Amino acid sequence: MRYRAIKTTSWLLTLALVMSCGGGSSGDAESSLGCGGTTSSTGATVQSWVTSADKSKLLARQPDLIFAGCAIASSHIDVNQDTHYQTMVGFGAAITDATAWVIQNKMSNVQRSALLDDLFGRTTGIGLSFIRLTIGASDFSLSHYSLDDMAAGQTDYPLTNFSIVPMRTAVLPTIQAALVVNPNISVMASPWSAPAWMKSSDSLVTGSLLPQAYDAYARYLVKFADAMQAEGIPLYALTAQNEPNFEPADYPGMLLDSTARATLVGQHLGPLLAQRATPLRLLDWDHNWDNPTSPQAVLDDATARPYVDGVAWHCYAGGVGTQTAVHDAYPDKETYFTECSGGDWASVWSDNLLWNTRTLVIGATRNWAKGVLLWNLALDENHGPHLGGCSNCRGVVTINSVTGVVTRNEEYYALAHASKFVRPGAQHIASSSGSNGLDSVAFRNADDGSLVLIVANAHAVTSNFTVRQGGLTFPASLPAGAVATYVWTP
């Protein structure tokens, strides 16, 4: 897989702040809502949390703000809950073999429990609710394996040797413990490679899926889904192959072009999944923004299309707007963002916070993603364990392999500004964004009707702005490079 390189941008704009009534909306979502000409307080309060570029505030609760009748600055954000888009599954990251191994082997019971409560707890934690598993090994595994390995030259088309034993030591206990903390977690899964005997290379590393193995591979994936359900881990979604256009040289991977995927899905995997009593979404692509023609080709296939529920995207090439282009071409298909990793190549904490928030939490969601996933949930201080692949990737959290102490990285705070406040089932609603360096995304929680607005300030100076919703406004101020979440009930 290829990894994101962040280009540091110097934001050299200066805001001239002019307080006025009845200012028009700027942005891409709503027209002006008006102001009404009064400045009296309505008594409604807005809770807010901020993470600053200098780390002096880390998801820090701020004094409540007050809705008033009119206090429009030259910078403002309109929120309109009457215009709504996709329903959210949630935000999270992957529990890879490496993540699970570090959590299970490098932490005390007390440390492990505290971390899982923090990551998945809704009341005291950040409420992650979307998790990705690997089907067999990835580069973040201690060994290269599949769930049906055979000696060289041997095959197992009946899948009599299939076993999830490699997952029992670390992965299953970790995801099961997370589900105890948060039963509302949605779990998706992706294979990095079919078993070696199904491939042209007879190896987990390199190669493509043999046509005569399509049926066995489809049954292999369904068998995995059934095994997870038997362990109390019902899958929400499945992809047929991680990064099918990339053939890594030193860790499991498999080429599976659009023609092969359409055949696999339309004639084998799709019909098998349709027979399951428990519904399971099938997502295509699971790869970068730069090649939309590949998932489009699968969706163009009349046999495969009925079985494909959506398209999954990664961040390592191309731009997030590709998600909307494909969504617009196939509006009945869902969109998910399923992988992005930070690492030592991007070493500026403040830049990483802003990039992850603007591009993934805000950008992917504004481009129709129902869920947003980062790559490794946890790694050790040596960027592992890993076998091949990325040698300097960063987990959402870092666990010291000697002390078990947890460092919460910039990706943690970017996710937390959404996951702690946006609950599964929330609707993405309209908000203006991109005005004077302020990017935003807004949601309406289904359970209590509360509204959540996430704002990132890419401006080089503090931005003073107002938020308008339902004809009323509240004033806000956000330092350069900072991220904020605002929550209120209309």
- For 67-108, the three-class secondary structure string (H helix, E strand, C coil) is EECCCECCCEEEEEEEEEEEECCEEEEECCHHHHHHHHHCCC
Instruction: Count CB atoms within 10 A of the CB of residue 212.
Output: 10
Residue 141 CA to residue 139 CA, distance in Å, equals 6
Separation of alpha carbons 474 and 65, rounded Å: 7
Residues 342 and 395: beta-carbon distance below 8 Å: no
Q: How many angstroms separate the CA atoms of 260 and 214, rounded? A: 9
Give Cα separations from 262 to 222, 268, 286, 325, 367 (angstroms): 17, 10, 14, 20, 25
Catalytic residue, from 30, 334, 339, 411: name it: 339
d(CA 163, CA 167): 9
Catalytic residue list contains 30: no
- Whether 339 is catalytic: yes
Q: Which residues, in sequence order, are CB contacts of 337 under 8 Å at separation 6+?
A: 312, 313, 314, 315, 323, 360, 364, 369, 371, 372, 373
Query: Which residue has 């709504």 as its token pair?
Result: 84
Tokens found for residue 97: 């073999």
Instruction: Pull the structure tokens for residue 211.
Output: 């046509």
Residue whose pair of structure tokens reads 């897989």 in the numeric block: 1
Catalytic residue among 243, 334, 410, 411: 243
At position 180, the amino acid (one-letter code) is: V
Q: CA-CA distance, 485 to 236, in Å (whole number)?
A: 28
CA-based nearest residue to 339, from 184, 116, 132: 132
d(CA 266, CA 278): 19
Helices (H) and strands (E) in the chain, counts: 12, 22
Active site members: 243, 339
